[in-house]
Amino acid sequence: MSADAILSSEEGVGALKRLATPVSRRAYAALFALFAVGLCALPSFVSGYVTTLAVEVMIAGVFASGINLLTGYTGLVSLGQAMFLGFGGYGIAIGTALLGWPLWISAPVTLVVVAAIAAAIGAICTRTRGVEFLLITLAFSQMFYGAAIKLRWTNGSDGMTGIPRPDLSLLGVSADNPTVFYYYVLVVAVLSLLMLWRIVTSPFGSVLVGIRENERRMMSMGYAVANYKIGSFALAAVICAVAGILQSQYTYFVNPDAMSWQMSGEGVLMVIIGGANVILGPFVGAAVFVVVKQALSMITEEYNLFFGIFFMLVVAFFRGGVLGSISTLIGKRK
Amino acid sequence: MQPFLIQLLNGVQLSMLVFLLAVGLTLIFGLMNILNLAHGAFFTMGAYFGLVVANKTGSFWLALLIGPLLPFAAGFVLQFFVLQPLAQRGRSTHLDLALLTFGLLFATAGAVEYIYGSAFHSIVTPDLLKGRVALLGIEYPIYRLFITAVGIAIAIALVLVIDRTLVGATLRAGVDNREMVTALGININVLFALVFGFGSALAGFAGVVSAPVMSIYSSMGIGIVVTTFVVVVVGGLGNLKGSFYASLIVGMTDTFAQAYLPEAELFAIYILLIAVMIFRPQGLFGAVGRVA
Amino acid sequence: MSALEIRNLRKAFGGLQVISDLDLKVPSGQRHAVIGPNGAGKTTLFNIITGWQPPTSGEILIQGIPVQQGRPDLVTRGGLSRSFQKNMLLESVTVLENLRVACQAFDASRHSVFRSCWSFADVVRKAHFAAEQMHLDTVLHRNVNELSYGQKRQLEVAIALCAEPKILLMDEPAAGTSPDERASLIKLINGLSPELTILLVEHDMDVVFAICDIITVLSYGRVLATGTKDQIQSNPQVIEAYLGQHHA
């Protein structure tokens, strides 16, 4: 088993496997069902503040899920995924504000463009591995961050405003209503999660896992490994772009900070906390992260300092993430 | 627009500054396989500490001498008490440690912001190096020539130490086979920590040296560190000589782009990086260190 | 046409000549061993054959087709599969998954993102078959890191078999195994299809004599002799090179 904090895979899944006895399975399913119902009914029994917090968690979870595909499942640790978050937001901003397209055109077009750009960037970046890959993804995202600040037709560092939320008038509701927006994000998040689960359990996904485990052996087996890495990079980028679209719709604006190295770092941390290589991991990580961030910002202005220390502690001590740590606890009790 | 010669000299000067940063990073990576993403923090630390010394003593030279001591200590402590124990405990992948330094980057960015705020500071050029000198038909600031000279001197000194001295040989041996070196009675942990401290001190030194020509501000490390990363990747991770040549290439590219194509200045070095990555992913001069 | 043919192979690392003027012809169905002291160039030879390293000069032909350098995946496609000296397994997944992924490599389904990988019954069936061939059917659902070393070596070979190769290269398959595990391995390898060509690198002469008809002796990157066990054992050059190391 690999020693990387974020690449330790089996503790989370192992825990689930150990729960496979009939009684525990039913209990687990019941718990899950309860949680699902709770999610659906959330806005009706909590305050507006908690609802918006839940929206932030879900958006962050989608972003972290994209990172998880590339990092947790394929084993490519990138510090530049925020660039695709920014592409998503800027994509629909450019589409709706500058080109005058309705949202239902600019959103898919954005995702297609992101996939193409990501494939190109991925083709370059995946020629490297390990720390070099880390550096070069960071460099790329810094390049786009700089471009976003400089470009005048996207308003430079002020960013673009007036990002539209989806037009749900056909359903008789307005997405400007926080509760309605919550359900919109919930639907998108669930769909993204399902899509990710499908990818990961498919043959393509199994190849990605194999690449993480032993890339040389996969080549020896006969796989054109480079293509799969690029594919993973592009798919991860699209998922991150979806999060970017949601984020810009949530705040009604997008600015270069969405593409900063800090944003990439936050995403990676969420994956580590929640447990890489586990489907729900990124959402758990996002929940922990958002809550801690909120708590921290109420206590102190020096968010970066504490965040940095927290990050270092997590990397140093968390093996397998929160889910992994829990399963280790369960295992010990047996 | 200034004459070509001035641009050339500016390019070399920037190259030497970037080299001072890149060499610390690549030295640490080449010898210990650690990528310190927080390297820029030591640059900033050196500059601010030098500022404190300069303000207290009024002497530039003291600032230059004492400024790098803080990043040296910080680097030593980081390696000896944090990174080394983690590496030995089985968290041996370099990726883990790189991520750890990424967290450090956050922390130091926050800490500097907290202590110094966002104001801009500067250190005054010392009298000895003030003014300009007539050179081949142009007038060029003496201080910039000083930076260039210092960079080249350090480059030569490093090559000599690593290739020709016992210390250098011990270091190289220690990377190949640490048990053997330890068995020979050499405390390899202290040696590695000293190297880490030294690499960080070089960054801090660059911070002080650049202060009279660039401003000191809380996010100064971030801007120059990405350029440093590009240099290190282009030169080949861990390749000392490679980073020297790469510094020249990147420094020149950046300066000339800024002079002749200001709009594309930002992209010039990134395009260089992309081109190198496409055609020679191991760096123009080949990577020497083990890539995780 | 030989299954595997090597012509005038040379490999130098800088000034060090690792392989010189190596010629080898392995006819289809032959069980061929390559032996030699450490440093004789055996693993380098394997790396060159399988496309992991380029030769300085010379040709490698697999079933008559030249090997394309830098593309080990295409070498496997061409019918030559390899097992490694150090276990190269997918450590944190199950034995069955290792085999399934290996069997999936040439199946059209490998690009699919729309269905579960277990829904492709063909591939799963092949994986089960490969497991049976190497007696791993009892540990199919165990994680690789729970296996004994001998079982891992078996899996190492089983994965190479999943590619349904015409030629199987095995790099010290018995390395580090106990006598029981070794006997088991020998039996399994001898039980493989007689049409399968096998090229074997081994230090353990028991394994070599039990499996192989023809032996090539390498020394300092050159072929000293090629022949049957008796021919090799009575060859004066071989005896000289192996003085003290010869299997008594």
Across B23-32, C64-73, C196-205, least confident range: B23-32
pLDDT digits (tens, 9 = 90+) for B1-51: 567 888 888 889 889 989 999 988 888 887 777 888 888 889 988 888 888
Phi, psi of C52 (to 5 degrees): -80, -25
Q: What is the model's pLDDT at position C177?
A: 86
Q: Is the pLDDT of residue A149 over 50?
A: yes
Which is higher by pLDDT, B265 or B194? B194
Tell me which chain A residues have a C-beta less than 8 angstroms from the C-beta of C82: 220
Q: What is the model's pLDDT at position C197?
A: 93
Q: What Rg do the C-alpha atoms of chain C give, in angstroms? A: 18
CB contact under 8 A, C93 and A225: no
CB contact under 8 A, B106 and A265: yes
Q: Is the pLDDT of residue C239 over 90?
A: no
For chain B, the structural domain boundaries read: 2-221
Sheet (strand C80-83) strand order: C80-83, C167-171, C197-201, C31-35, C214-219, C222-227
Kindly compute the dihedral angle of the four CA atoms of residues B136, B141, B145, B147, in this order, to the nearest 10 degrees: -160
Which amino acid, residue B13? Answer: Q
pLDDT digits (tens, 9 = 90+) for C102-131: 999 999 889 999 999 999 999 999 999 999
- How far apart (Å, rounded) are the C-alpha atoms in residues C52 and A194? 38
Q: Is the pLDDT of residue A10 over 70?
A: no
pLDDT digits (tens, 9 = 90+) for C134-159: 889 899 998 898 899 889 999 999 99
**What's the whole-number average pLDDT of chain C?**
88
- B45 close to B71: Cβ distance less than 8 angstroms: yes
Q: Which of A51, A164, A70 is nearest to A125 (CA)?
A: A70
With both helix axes pointing from N to C terminus, report the angle between A303-317 and A281-299 in degrees, rounded to the nearest 10. Answer: 140
Using the structure block, give the residue that is written with the tokens 């729309």: C114
Confidence of residue B90 (pLDDT cuts 50, 70, 90): low
Kindly compute the dihedral angle of the four CA atoms of residues B78, B82, B87, B88, in this order, to the nearest 10 degrees: 120
The SS3 call for residue B171 is: helix
Q: Which residue of A has its CA nearest to C90?
A: A213
- How far apart (Å, rounded) are the C-alpha atoms in residues C73 and C92? 23
Question: Do chain A and B touch: 3 or more Cβ pairs under 8 angstroms?
Answer: yes
Q: Is the pLDDT of residue A9 over 50?
A: no
Task: At C4, list the tokens.
Answer: 């595997």
Q: Residues 6 or more apart from B170 whose CB is under 8 A from it?
A: B181, B186, B191
Q: Which residue of B has its CA nearest to A7?
A: B96
CA C26 to chain centre: 14
CB contact under 8 A, B106 and A135: no
Helix H or strand E encompassing A305: helix A303-317
CA A201 to chain centre: 18
Window 45-74 of C: residues touching A by CB (8 A cutoff) are: 50, 72-73
pLDDT digits (tens, 9 = 90+) for B236-290: 877 788 888 999 998 888 888 888 777 776 778 888 888 888 887 777 776 554 3
Q: Is the pLDDT of residue A12 over 50?
A: no
Q: What is the model's pLDDT at position A321?
A: 54
- Burial status of residue B32 (CB atoms within 10 A of its CB: 0-12, 13-18, 19 or more): buried
CB contact under 8 A, A221 and C92: no
Q: Is the pLDDT of residue B92 over 80?
A: no
Window 189-208 of A: residues touching C by CB (8 A cutoff) are: 198-199, 201-207
Q: Is the pLDDT of residue C21 over 80?
A: yes
Q: Which of A316, A274, A197 is nearest to A11 (CA)?
A: A274
Which string of b and e fits A244-261 if b means at least 16 CB within 10 Å? bbbbbbbbebbbbebbbb
Which is higher by pLDDT, B258 or A238? A238
CB contact under 8 A, A10 and C92: yes
CB contact under 8 A, A221 and C116: no
Tell me which chain B residues have a C-beta less than 8 angstroms from the C-beta of A127: 277-278, 281
Q: Residues 6 or more apart from A155 whose CB is under 8 A from it?
A: none
Give the number of other CB atoms < 10 A from CB of residue C23. 13
- Out of A213, A216, A220, closest to residue C91 by CB: A213
Q: Is the pLDDT of residue B160 over 90?
A: no
Q: Is the pLDDT of residue C40 over 90?
A: no
Q: Is the pLDDT of residue A7 over 50?
A: no
Task: At A223, list the tokens.
Answer: 């796989």
- How far apart (Å, rounded) are the C-alpha atoms in residues A286 and A292? 10
pLDDT digits (tens, 9 = 90+) for B198-210: 999 999 999 998 8
Helix intervals (H) in A46-129: 48-68, 82-93, 103-125
Q: Residues 6 or more apart from A263 whose CB is under 8 A from it?
A: A82, A85, A257
Task: At A190, list the tokens.
Answer: 């669930």
- Out of A199, A216, A221, closest to residue C159 by CB: A221
- How far apart (Å, rounded) are the C-alpha atoms in residues C192 and C161? 10
CB contact under 8 A, A221 and C110: no
**What's the whole-number average pLDDT of chain A?**
83
Confidence of residue B178 (pLDDT cuts 50, 70, 90): low
CB contact under 8 A, A223 and C110: yes
- Burial status of residue A309 (CB atoms within 10 A of its CB: 0-12, 13-18, 19 or more): middle
Q: What is the model's pLDDT at position A198?
A: 94
- C197 close to A255: Cβ distance less than 8 angstroms: no
Query: Which residues on neighbouring strands pair with residue C169, listed in sequence order?
Result: C82, C199
Q: What is the model's pLDDT at position C175?
A: 85
- B22 close to B241: Cβ distance less than 8 angstroms: no
- How far apart (Å, rounded) are the C-alpha atoms in residues C22 and C9? 5
Q: Is the pLDDT of residue A8 over 70?
A: no
CB contact under 8 A, C112 and A210: no
Q: What is the model's pLDDT at position B276?
A: 84
Which string of b and e fits B86-104 if b means at least 16 CB within 10 Å? bbeeebebbbbbbbbbbbb
Angle at B112 between CA B111 and CA B116, to 5 degrees: 120
Q: Which residue of C has its CA nearest to A225?
A: C73
Q: What is the model's pLDDT at position A231?
A: 96
Q: Is B252 left (phi over 0), alpha (psi -120 to 50) or beta?
A: alpha
Mean pLDDT for B45-60 is 87
Mutation pick from A124, A315, A317, A319 vs chain B, by most beta carbons of B within 10 Å, is: A315
CB contact under 8 A, A9 and C117: no
This prediction has a pTM of 0.86
- How far apart (Å, rounded) are the C-alpha atoms in residues C230 and B16? 68
pLDDT digits (tens, 9 = 90+) for C175-185: 888 888 888 88
Which string of b and e fits B265-277 if b means at least 16 CB within 10 Å? bbbbbbebbbebb
Q: Which of A278, A279, A271 is nearest to A311 (CA)?
A: A271
**What's the whole-number average pLDDT of chain B?**
81
The SS3 call for residue A118 is: helix
- Out of A3, A134, A303, closest to residue B98 by CB: A134
Q: What is the model's pLDDT at position A333?
A: 36
Across A40-49, A113-122, A204-213, C201-210, least confident range: A40-49
Which is higher by pLDDT, B195 or B261? B195
Task: At C102, list the tokens.
Answer: 């290996």
Percent of chain A residues topping a pLDDT of 70? 87
CB contact under 8 A, B35 and A131: yes
Q: What is the model's pLDDT at position A19?
A: 43
Q: Which of C154, C137, C152 is nearest to C189 (CA)?
A: C154
- B40 close to B229: Cβ distance less than 8 angstroms: no
Q: Is the pLDDT of residue A332 over 70?
A: no
Q: Is the pLDDT of residue A103 over 80?
A: yes
Residue A269, CA atoms < 13 Å, CB-side half-sphere: 26
pLDDT digits (tens, 9 = 90+) for A72-97: 899 898 989 999 999 999 999 999 88
Please give the DSSP secondary-structure letter assigned to residue C94: B
Kindly compute the dihedral angle of the four CA atoms of residues C46, C51, C54, C57, in this order, to the nearest 10 degrees: 70
CA distance B100 to chain A (A): 5
Q: What is the model's pLDDT at position A1?
A: 34
Window 240-269 of A: residues touching B by CB (8 A cutoff) are: 262, 265, 268
B interface with A, Cβ–Cβ < 8 A, is: 29, 35, 37, 82, 86, 90-96, 98-100, 102-111, 113-114, 226, 229-230, 232-233, 237, 266-267, 270, 273-274, 277-278, 281, 287, 291-292
Using the structure block, give the residue that is written with the tokens 């047996």: A334
Percent of chain A residues topping a pLDDT of 90? 41
Q: Which of A234, A194, A249, A290 is nearest to A84 (CA)?
A: A234
- How far apart (Å, rounded) are the C-alpha atoms in residues A51 and A48? 5
- How far apart (Å, rounded) are the C-alpha atoms in residues C118 and B278? 37
CA distance A3 to chain B (A): 6
Please give the DSSP secondary-structure letter assigned to residue A27: H
Phi, psi of C214 (to 5 degrees): -120, 140
Q: Is the pLDDT of residue C3 over 50?
A: yes
Q: Is the pLDDT of residue A324 over 70?
A: no
- How far apart (Å, rounded) are the C-alpha atoms in residues B139 and B131? 9
- Burial status of residue A143 (CB atoms within 10 A of its CB: 0-12, 13-18, 19 or more): buried
Q: Is the pLDDT of residue A319 over 70?
A: no
- How far apart (Å, rounded) are the C-alpha atoms in residues A137 and A124? 10
Q: What is the model's pLDDT at position B133?
A: 79
Q: Residues 6 or more apart from C211 whose CB is under 8 A from it?
A: C31, C33, C186, C189, C190, C198, C200
Q: Which of B101, B139, B261, C123 is nearest to A311 (CA)?
A: B101
Angle at C230 between CA C229 and CA C233, to 5 degrees: 85
Q: What is the model's pLDDT at position A45?
A: 76
Q: Which of A205, A218, A227 is nearest to C159 (CA)?
A: A218
Chains that touch B (3 or more CB pairs under 8 A): A
- How far apart (Å, rounded) are the C-alpha atoms in residues C125 and C102? 12
pLDDT digits (tens, 9 = 90+) for B93-134: 677 788 888 888 878 878 877 777 777 877 777 777 777 877
Q: What is the model's pLDDT at position A142?
A: 87
CB contact under 8 A, A203 and C88: no
Mutation pick from A202, A208, A278 vs chain C, by most beta carbons of C within 10 Å, is: A202
Q: Is A131 on the interface with B (CB under 8 A)?
A: yes
Across A21-35, B69-83, B113-127, least confident range: A21-35
